[in-house]
Amino acid sequence: MRTLRVEVINGMERLIQGYKRFVTEVFPTRRTQFHLLAESQAPEWLFITCSDSRIVPDLILNSGPGDLFITRNAGNVVPVASHDVDGVTATIEYAVEVLRVKHAILCGHSDCGALKAALDVRNLENLPKAKRWLSHVEAAFHHRQPLNPADGDSAELASLIRGNVVAQWLNLRAQPAVAQAMEEARLSVHAWYYDILTGRIEQYDEKAEQFLPLI
């Protein structure tokens, strides 16, 4: 027990040291920016992605404080519009109606644990809440993408993950606030797949019905 407590303290110390560096080195050089952000925010992009620790939007996109309005959850899920209240759709509604973001990006990623679990639900036997949440990714099976040889042994999983990106992108477009904003031509909605190994992003092309390199 004592060893575990020491390990926990040491783990927290790393974060505390990081915070000390922020306060002493980073914040002073951007004081004006943070003072402006303390009063209001006006992000241009809503970014919906997975909770996976390997996905760091500001690092990947070279963005900073005030740029991205982010919501994250297991499997980058957007629940189908209903009378239920959930944090994801509430965040989307706020971003579109109040913050008036111009772009909404649904971003999935390679090696997604949520889709791994969807392929073998036995892994969820002791995770009842996760199992219920992942019922939202069932539509991914209807939108599987063609196998990509470049994905190697993970081709089947990658095909399903891309399918989930399409499924959740469709759910996003179906959200009442999003649908209205798109009709008014003040919001565009994008579907991305991020590959952790290569750092590459693919974007779903609706006309071509396939994922293509973002750049």
Q: Domain with 110 in it: what CATH number?
A: 3.40.1050.10
Mean pLDDT on 30-58: 97
Query: Over 60: is that where the pLDDT of 204 sits?
Result: yes
According to the model, what pLDDT value does residue 3 have? Answer: 60
What whole-number distance in Å separates Cα of residue 124 and Cα of residue 131? 6
Handedness of CA 7, 11, 14, 16 (dihedral sign): negative
Q: What is the sign, positive or negative, of the torsion defined by CA atoms of 188, 194, 199, 204?
A: negative
Residues 147 and 54 in one domain: yes
Taking alpha carbons only, the member of 29, 36, 162 closest to residue 106 is: 162
47 & 96 share domain? yes
CB 61 within 8 A of CB 45: no
Q: Are residues 53 and 131 in the same domain?
A: yes
Are both 79 and 34 inside the same structural domain?
no
Cα R_g (the chain), whole angstroms: 19
Task: Give the SS3 label for residue 24.
Answer: helix
Mean pLDDT, rounded, for 147-175: 96
Mean pLDDT over residues 196-213, rounded? 97
- pLDDT bracket for residue 10 (50, 70, 90): confident
pLDDT at position 144 over 70: yes
Determine contact, residues 127/114, Cβ cutoff 8 Å.
Answer: no
SS3 214: coil
> Looking at the chain, how many residues does it have?
215
Q: Report residue 140's pLDDT band, with 50, 70 and 90 as the boundaries.
A: very high
Structure confidence at residue 9 (pLDDT): 61
Same structural domain, 64 and 2: no
- pLDDT tens digits, 66-118: 999 999 999 999 998 666 779 999 999 999 999 999 999 999 999 999 999 99
Give the pLDDT confidence score for residue 80 in this predicted structure: 87
Q: Residues 143, 175: one domain?
A: yes
Q: What is the DSSP letter of 21?
A: H
User: Stretch 38-58: mean pLDDT, rounded?
Assistant: 98
Both 85 and 140 in one domain: the answer is yes
Domain that holds residue 19: 1-40
Task: Name the pLDDT band for 154 (thresholds 50, 70, 90).
Answer: very high
Query: In the structure, how many helices (H) and strands (E) does the chain have?
Result: 9, 6
For residue 133, what are its two tokens?
A: 């949440």
Whether 2 and 60 map to the same domain: the answer is: no
Residue-wise over 55-65: b if at least 16 C-beta within 10 A, else e? bebeeeeebee
Structural domains in the chain (count): 2
Instruction: With beta carbons less than 8 A apart as the criterion, state whether 128 and 153 touch.
Output: no
Mark whether 35 and 54 lie in a shared domain: no
Residue 161 shares a structural domain with residue 149: yes
Same domain, 1 and 99: no
**Residue 184 and residue 117 in one domain:** yes
In this prediction, residues 202-212 reach a mean pLDDT of 97
Report the SS3 class of residue 58: helix
The reported pLDDT for the residue numbered 7 is 62
